[in-house]
Amino acid sequence: MLKRILLILFIPAWGLAQDLETLGSQKPFTVNGSLDVRAIGYSVNGIAARRSPFMYMISGSPVFSVYGISIPLYFTYSEQERSFRQPFNQFGMSPTYKWATLHAGYRNLTFSPYTLAGHTLLGAGAELNPGKLRLGFMVGRLNRATTVDTTTGMVQPYSFSRHGYAGKIGFGTDDNHFDLSFLSAKDREKDFKGDLETSEVRPAANTVLGGDLKLTFAGRFFIFADGGISVYTGDRYSTVALFTDSARIIKTISRLMPLNGTSEYYIAYSGGLGYKEKNFSLKAAYRYVDPEFRSMGAYYFQNDIKNLTVSPTLNVLNGKLRLMASIGIQDDNTKKQKQATTRRVIGLTNLSWDFNEKLGLDASYTNFSSNSEPVVALVQNKYLLTQTTANISISPRLVLANARNTQMILLSYNNSNLKDVNEETQIQNNINSTVALLNYNITLNQSGLTLMSGLNYTINKIAEGDIDNKGFSLGASKAFLKNKLQVGTNNSYVLSTLPQGKSNVLSLGGTASYRPLAKHRVNLRVNSLKYTYEEGAGNGFSEFTAEVGYNLSF
């Protein structure tokens, strides 16, 4: 086994935001946080080991504060075989003074859904909001270059380092505003270790312009809209000429920035209107996204779609009955480039009803239907999608509480059905899944003893045959020594029936936690798993895991 040492210092994007106006009243320096030390032992009989027989891990999350400015850190030190591609050290801060916020280091910002939209960026910037003016700017590195994983020696796909800048200008408030934003980014070959002449990975460039609008009027009505146009060049060094006669917008853009034969533009937009009051709301929205729409300032887009949705919500009976619903239609093939167009009907309803202090009900229903319609003459039926997916979930609950004990009974039923109505593909595609759970918990108030029990049943019906699982669980927890010592056990048994045969799984586990002092805690966890095959091919096996840990809060 290779020895790996992982040391990570991490400050998330939301980790630091401090108002400097209170600087004088803050302490010069403070430190708090936690330290966690764990040792884990593992043994197995009957199969190859799935983890190291022994490992340890030391982790901590100290938070340093300098005049009220918090600097949270996180580190992990462990000895085990790991496979990670990019060990990282990330630091960042966003101090605030009145209407000005500065950003430095690793930050995660959103200017619009299409420009800078939650992408982590290493750099610097600022957001200025004097009055109703809304300004923002950020510049730095979006991605680092990757070549060879030095921790494993494995060659990873080459990629370039990606740098860019983004900005925003707008006017208004959260309820009434108009913003314009932009992003400009490109791949740099400075840190690229491959051969640029022969590499299949090419340096790209991207410019995106976005807009965002929201207006509230008459107190309860609102209008919202956003949109973006993305110009993406797949290869900055391509010598293929751009034919501008095919699209007027490309011809216009080519006058503003360098383009070539690998340059394409994409459009996305959404908007709608709504009505909102205390106990009722209604919103209608339309969304359109071009095929292959992408932006270097966002990680993912669902593209090649257009949909129309209506979403009502209702809150009545003094908040005891809450209803949320949505119904809509979604199409793909927006540019008519595919052989068939798929239309989906999207519907969902969530209901929560508290009949009284003891009895309540949670329920949900979703229905998604998809139907492909050919747009070319010769498309075989077996290639057309015609499906309906329905899911229903019902969970009644009962809570009985008195001076001696508190009891809770929870019943849960869930059924999911994928039905293919295409006669040529329905046999292999139809799937029906049912899950039923019954849980009963009782807590003896004076002694602090809690007993837990449950029954579960799952069945999946697929073309290859039925797969069902039946089982039960038993558990208990108890506090001793004025709640300094917590002891618990969780056990379960599952009998599985598969097309290949039957098997069962027995799991026995126990936990203990002791707190000798206010900020110190010692933990112990043991678990035993035993797999037995009653029928069919396969051998049984057993696993045992034990973990001891220490936690310090400071």
d(CA 102, CA 73): 20
Angle at 435 between CA 434 and CA 438, to 5 degrees: 145
Helical (H) or strand (E) element with 250: helix 248-254
d(CA 180, CA 391): 40
411, pLDDT greater than 70: yes
In contact, 521 and 511? CB cutoff 8 Å: no
pLDDT tens digits along 187-196: 987 767 666 6
Instruction: For residue 59, give the 3-state DSSP assignment.
Output: strand
Task: Name the token pair of 129.
Answer: 């909001």
Q: CA nearest 282: which of 220, 344, 226?
A: 220
pLDDT tens digits along 224-254: 999 999 999 988 888 887 765 556 676 677 7
d(CA 487, CA 509): 11
In contact, 374 and 339? CB cutoff 8 Å: yes
281, pLDDT greater than 50: yes
Q: Which band of pLDDT confidence, cut at 50, 70 and 90, is reported for residue 386?
A: low
380, pLDDT greater than 90: no
d(CA 181, CA 176): 17
pLDDT tens digits along 83-97: 333 334 566 777 777
SS3 content of the chain, % helix, strand, coil (to 5): 5, 65, 35
Task: Name the token pair of 5.
Answer: 């040492």
In percent, how much of the chain has pLDDT > 90? Answer: 49
- CA distances for 79 relative to 39, 42, 173, angstroms: 10, 14, 51
161, pLDDT greater than 60: yes
If one counts every other C-beta atom within 10 angstroms of the C-beta of residue 480, the result is 12
* Predicted pLDDT of residue 239: 83
186 strand-pairing partners: 163, 205
d(CA 263, CA 315): 50
Pairing of strands 9-10, 89-90: parallel
Tokens 């916020």, located at residue? 101
Tokens 């809509």, located at residue? 328
In contact, 375 and 338? CB cutoff 8 Å: yes
201, pLDDT greater than 50: yes
Least confident of 21-35, 100-114, 256-270, 300-314: 21-35
Q: How many CA atoms lie within 13 A of 98 on its CB side?
A: 2
Question: How does DSSP assign 309-376, residue by residue?
Answer: EEEEEEEETTTTEEEEEEEEEEE--TTS-SSEEEEEEEEEEEEEEE-SSSEEEEEEEEEEEEEEEESS
- CA distances for 415 relative to 395, 419, 433, angstroms: 12, 13, 6
The four Cα atoms 190, 193, 197, 198 give a dihedral, to 10 degrees, of -150
Maximal CA-CA distance, the chain: 83
Least confident of 6-10, 405-409, 492-496: 6-10
- CA distances for 518 relative to 30, 59, 145, 479, 553, angstroms: 19, 20, 46, 16, 9
- CA distances for 334 relative to 209, 250, 265, 386, angstroms: 21, 19, 15, 19
* Predicted pLDDT of residue 387: 56
Domain parsing of the chain, residue ranges: 1-95, 99-299, 304-463, 480-554
The four Cα atoms 288, 292, 294, 299 give a dihedral, to 10 degrees, of 100
Q: Which amino acid is at 398?
A: L
